[in-house]
Amino acid sequence: MRLEVTHALAERMRADLKRAGRQEIGGILFAEQLEPNRFKIVDCSTDFHSGSHSTFRRDPVVHNALLRQFFERTGNDFRRFNYLGEWHSHPSFSVRPSPEDVAEMTSLVQVGKSQISFAVLLVLRIRFHFWLDASATLFARDHVPARVRIDAATRLI
Ligand SMILES: [Zn+2]
């Protein structure tokens, strides 16, 4: 899988990370599928209130409403514009997914839990007020988690 992030969104996320300081923030990722296995993250939800220093739990009601709005904005063209996964920040430690992150994402793509068969986890951290660290990991049903490359074209990440 190849992943891009729009410049505008990367800038917004950077500003949000600065604003949140040492509090974890996060939300869900909305993407456009450019071709098979190639996605551009075009929007995301951001929750400033559910996080703490070390954990992030998003509010499903709020985020589901945002997902519906995204579908409306993109003409319910689900094959092209859809949910891609989750994101959150690790303000105080490395962007490597924690064991809890891996467990939650693995459970998200399991049969019976939801109709989602794959999802990306994007973890971000801002350092020295401008340097953006990022990791992206693909969780797919019946597969081990795989690191995803974020295209250099995105530059900011
Ligand atoms: Zn985490």
pLDDT in tens, the chain (157 residues): 999 999 899 889 999 999 999 888 998 999 999 999 999 999 998 888 766 544 456 666 777 788 899 999 999 999 999 999 999 999 999 999 999 999 989 988 887 666 788 999 999 999 877 788 999 999 999 999 999 988 855 555 4
Nearest C-alpha neighbor of 1 from the set 141, 148, 154: 148
Q: Please report the pLDDT score of residue 61 as a whole number.
A: 72
Q: Please report the pLDDT score of residue 57 as a whole number.
A: 60
Q: Please report the pLDDT score of residue 53 as a whole number.
A: 45
- 75 alpha carbon to ligand 1 midpoint, in Å? 32
- 19 alpha carbon to ligand 1 midpoint, in Å? 18
- 130 alpha carbon to ligand 1 midpoint, in Å? 20
Q: Please report the pLDDT score of residue 54 as a whole number.
A: 46
Q: Please report the pLDDT score of residue 115 as a whole number.
A: 75
Question: How far apart (Å, rounded) are the C-alpha atoms in residues 98 and 123?
Answer: 10
Residue 101 sits at the vertex; the CA angle it makes with 63 and 96, to the nearest 5 degrees, is 115
Question: How far apart (Å, rounded) are the C-alpha atoms in residues 12 and 6?
Answer: 10
pTM of the model: 0.89
- 26 alpha carbon to ligand 1 midpoint, in Å? 9
